[in-house]
Structures are given as C-alpha cells and as structure tokens.
A and B are shown apart, each in its own frame.
Chain A
Amino acid sequence: MSKALLYDATMCIGCKQCESACAEQNKLPYNDTIAAESVQSAHKYTVVMTKDDKFMRRLCMHCEHPACASACPVGAFHKTKEGPVVYDVWKCIGCRYCMVACAFSQPKYEWGSLNPRVRKCIMCPDRVAAGKQTACAEICPTGATKFGDRDDLIQEAKQRLSQNPDTYLPRIYGLNEVGGTCVLILSSKKVEEYGYPASERIGDTPMPEYTGRVMERIPDFIPVWSLVLGGIYWISHRREEVAAAEAEEEKNGSAR
C-alpha cells in the first residue's frame, strides 16, 4: 500500500523544523538566510510559507500518476511501490521536460552548476523503504505533517473535516487532483493563495493521460502510414514503369 504525508495547515506553528530536517536528510545547506527564503529551489526541497499568520508547506506531491516520470525521455524519474517519486541523476540528460510537465512546478534546477541536477523532495525513499517516517514528519512537533498509509490518512483527514467543519475548508487537496497525490493537505485558507494550482484548473485526470492518448496510437499508426506511403510510391512508379515499357515497345515497333 502506498505511503503518504498528511499536512494539516491548521496545526502548523511555522517552526520550520521540517525545512532544516529535510536539509540535513538530503545534505543540503541550511542557515538563517536559507530559512528566510520563501521559495523552493535546488537547495530547498520544502518551504513553509506564511500568509496572515497562517502557514502552508510546499513539497513535491508524489502524484499517483506522476507527470514528471511520464515525461522524462530517459526515465530518470519513477514512482516506487511505497509511494515516493524518485530521481536517478545518472540517467538525466537535462532536458528539463519534467519541470515544464509537472503541474505543481516541483522539480527545480541547479542553474549555476556545470553538470546540473534536477532537485525536488524525494520523500526520503530510503527511510520509507526501511519502514521509517520521512525526516520532516518525524521532527514535526505538532503532528501537522503526518506520515502513514495513504488510505489511513485519507480516513483521518475526513474525520478531522467532519469533527471540526468550522476550522477547515471542506476539501482534502490531493485526494483527487491530477488523479490523486501522496501529499494530502487540509487547511483553513485556500491552498491556491500560496501558489498551489487551483483544483479546477488541474482537474482530476492524471496528466500523463493527455499525452498517453496520442502516444498509444503510434504503434498502430506506424504500419498503416508506412503501407499508405509505400502504396502511393508503388502506384505512382508503376505508372511510370508501364509508360516506359510502352514507349519502349512503340520504339521497337516503329523501328521494325
């Protein structure tokens, strides 16, 4: 069963301990300057944003049907069976199609590097595979970021919504968005205000389906189109041959 993170913005106190734990886990630099940065980047996989004293985290959503993995020409991204969407830097050629394809614009790039990598939250795959929680969930002092089985977390989120309907906006962001994600968000403020794409904008259809619809036609298209082209070639040149043969005959005939 796939693992997931449930982030409840109403429980978040903005301590940014998840940021520093993530940096440590992934060997990224972390200091006061970086803590003050409010955007994600190649050296900041997750960020805690503040708006009107309310907090919101951003990180890779670990989509059930990740656009990044479907888009990458060399398959550098893939979704593990436990849920994390991971990246293999060795395969990557740096085309950055993953970055444009991701509806949440999560993959970031090392623009200053001479051998740049794509960077994003990878949901601590080693820890998860070993049965542990992610670093950010483990350190969270209030339980705002909670790690668990996706189905269990959905149940829990629904429960929180029904128990405190006044606290929350009535939706679990990530439940169905782009076919469901492994990061689920509860909040009292619209996630869109923090830069998340609006649900109606991205829809519930997994993004890879849009390209898949075309790609799946190709295996049929190739033989049919080759036959058509070959056929046209054959017909138009057959005519030529016949004409040439006739001309030849005529010449022979008149010479006799």
Chain B
Amino acid sequence: MKIKLTFWRVVFIVIMVLGLYSSFIRYFRGLGAVSNMTDQFPWGLWIGFDCLCGVMLAAGGFIMVGAVYLFNVERLHSVVRPAVLTAFLGYILFIVGLLFDLGRPWYIWHQLIYMNPHSVMFEVGLCVMTYTTVLFFEFLPNVFERFNLKTAIKWTNKIYPVLIVLGILLSTLHQSSLGSLYLIMPSKLHPFWYTPALPFFFFGSAIAVGLAMTIFESTQSAKAFGRQLELPVLVTLGGALLVALWVNALLRFEDYYHRGMLTQIFKPSYEAYFLWLELTLTFVIPIAMLSFKKVRLSPQLLYLASIFTLLGFITNRLNIALIGFETYVGHHYVPKWTEFSITVMIIALGFFLFGVAVNYLPIFPKAKYGAALPRQTKAEPLLGTAVLTHAGD
C-alpha cells in the first residue's frame, strides 16, 4: 500500500519520533534528565497539564451522559457517544501520562493493595481507575454494535443505569478531589489560588469545560469528517456553557470577596498577570461573546467561544500547578523540551485514536453522515488525513 505523505502526517511522524526519543531519555536516563523538575519543583508540566488538565478536558463524558440519560435532554443524544469516547481516551492517556510521571510506575499496582484512606491522592487514584473501567463499559456498546452482537447489547443495556449513576458519582468525586490535593499546602500555593473552595472550583470548571469540550469536539469532527453540524445541539450546549461560566465566575468572585482579596488581585504582580490572563480567557471573553444571541446561534462563533473557555481553564490549572508555587520556591520552572515533547506525543496519540475509533465504530449516528464521506475515509485506514487535521489543531 502506498502511503501519501501529507503535511499533517509529517507533523505527526515528527511528533512521534521526538516523543519516542524523550521516552527513551525518561526510562533510561531518569526523571532528572528528561525534565526540569527538582527537589524544589517536584511536580511539573506532566502533573499540571497531563493530569490536571487531562482529567478536566475529559469531563465531557460524564456531563453528556448526565444530561442525556439522567435529565433526558433528548436533543443532545447525538453527542453522547463522541463525548464518552473522548472521555475514555482521555483517561487512558491520563494513565499513560502517569506512567511517565511516576518515579516507580512499575509499582503502580501498589495503589490497590496499600491503601491510605487519608490520602486525597489515593482517592483520586481509586476513582480514576474505577471510572476508566466504567467508561470502558459505557464505550463497549460501540464495539458490540459494530459486530452486531445482539445479546451483548441487551446485556449492557441492562446494566447501563448502574454505569450511569456510578460514572457520575465517581466523576463528581475525583474531579473535585483533584482540587483537594492542593488543600494540604496552604503555605505554599499562592493565595490567588489557594482557597478552601478548591474542590468546588475544580468541579465547577469541569462542568464548564465538559460543555466547551463537547462544542469544540463536535465542530472539529464535523470539519474533519465532513459531518453535518447540528445547530440545535450546539445552541443548547452554548446556552448551558454560558450559565456554567456565570456560576463559576460568581463563585470565584464570592471567594475573593470573602477572603478579602478583591483589592489585591488588581495590584500588578507576577501572579496577577497570570491571574488576569486566566480570568480574561475563562470568563470575560467567553461570557461577553455568549451573551450575544448572534454568537449563540453561530457555529463558528460558538466554536471560538469554546476555545477561549478551554484555554482559560487550562491556564487556570497551570496557574495552580506551576505559577502558584514560583514565589514560594523562589525561582521559575520552565519545562524542558523533552517534557513538552512527551505531552505533545500523548495529545497526538489521543487525536489519532479518536480518528481510528470514529472510522471503525458507530460513534456518530449513521443518519447524520454525508452520503459519500465515511467510505472515503475508510480507504485510508490508519493515518486518516482527517485525524491529522485534528492533530494540528
């Protein structure tokens, strides 16, 4: 078979080669060689982005499952499967990321036999493991349908209610607990971000990001796979996103108000610049945009607003994980290129697997396909151009 070299394919291959080189350094030279982490900065980009942001970006799964199966928002039915797929892949990649970050990943199973119930990290670990299993079962019907396994489909339909409740319960727990991780460091994390309300903020931002991510991913796949965009779906999501952003913004305001920080956050300082960037991206721009009906009715503008939201909350989590510690530590942490390269490799893998799954499994409802399209993508099984269009975005 002749494989054509398109631009995105080359990019993908370069990413993979650099990533594999960095992985080699990681496992054969150690964490010190591959990263700029030190005794002063024991948690770096991988915790900040791969873990904190990764789990947040995968929140669309439980939000959409909740909306459709719990609250019966029928309109959103067509986005449940892609959202569950994204979540499933997201958590798998999160675990892959952990295998890079943990100093002794070969003992990761110790988590199951040596349990410390006082540890937030233990709770997060256990929830993530269980939830990934739940997501696997939520994802399975795709495979069953693909191969037309009728009994298996019936069987999963029976346990679906349990999966749904369990999945949302576990998500509530670990999404918020990621914030609780930082509660034990009141003297280290900068007061802009340290607050007893951290678990609530982490949960709140997961909801907003889950919605934004679903808008982002629907639009993206529409572009990449030539699907029809369903405007009513996007409009519903956009409206919900606006509400979620307002709730998040009010909670943040309340928190600063109660802790008497309102004047401090406006005083210029190193942290303040990052906080301003974060607040502008998370709240000011998307809320301003979504307040216009014109924006809420336009797929392109909704897409743009969702991107701002995503970037905003990513900044938020990186501020908490990295910027918020710099004053305490007394110096800056800038990730090494090999750290970036592993993160980028993991993201690229995610887009790639998403593309493969969409090509082979009934992720998107059939009726919505354009007549000619799916066949054409099938001709390029593995390195579908479509996937790589993704990888570049």
Contact = CB atoms under 8 A, between A and B. Distances in A.
A116 B30 CA distance: 8
Contact of A208 (B104, B181, B184): B184
Interface stretch (A1-9, A164-172, A199-207): A199-207
Contact of A93 (B30, B108, B161): B108
Interface string A195-217: 00100011100011011111100
A211 B180 contact: yes
A101 B39 contact: no
Contacts of A94: 102-105, 107
Contact of A70 (B27, B119, B172): B119
B146 to A, nearest CB: 27
Q: Which residue of B40, B42, B116, B121 has the most chain A CB atoms within 10 A of its CB atom? A: B42
29 contacts: A42-B39, A67-B184, A70-B119, A71-B121, A72-B116, A72-B119, A73-B115, A73-B121, A73-B122, A92-B104, A92-B110, A97-B181, A99-B42, A103-B185, A103-B187, A109-B31, A111-B32, A112-B30, A115-B103, A116-B30, A202-B186, A207-B184, A211-B181, A211-B184, A215-B117, A218-B123, A218-B173, A233-B165, A237-B161
Given A109-B103, A112-B30, A214 B199 contact: yes
B150 interface: no
Contacts of A233: 69-70, 161, 164-165
Contacts of B148: none
B180 A91 contact: no
B169 interface: yes
Contacts of B165: 226, 229-230, 233
B188 interface: yes
Interface residues of B, number: 55
Interface in A38-75: 40-42, 67, 70-75
Given A97-B121, A229-B169, A237-B161, 4 more contacts: A72-B119, A111-B30, A214-B177, A218-B173
Nearest to B38: A111
B186 A210 contact: yes
Interface in B325-384: none
Nearest to B181: A97
B183 A214 contact: yes
A214 B119 contact: no
A108 interface: yes
Contacts of A96: 42-43, 103
Interface of A: 40-42, 67, 70-76, 91-97, 99-101, 103, 105, 108-109, 111-116, 197, 201-203, 207-208, 210-215, 218, 221-222, 225-226, 229-230, 232-233, 236-237, 239-240
Contacts of A91: 107, 110, 114
Ranked 7 nearest A-B pairs via Cβ: A94-B103, A111-B32, A75-B116, A73-B122, A73-B121, A99-B42, A94-B104
A212 B120 CA distance: 9
Contact of A74 (B116, B123, B181, B188): B116
Q: Which residue of A73, A210, A221 has the most chain B CB atoms within 10 A of its CB atom? A: A73
B42 to A, nearest CB: 4
Given A108-B39, A111-B30, A103 B119 contact: no
B33 A112 contact: yes
Contacts of B180: 211, 214-215
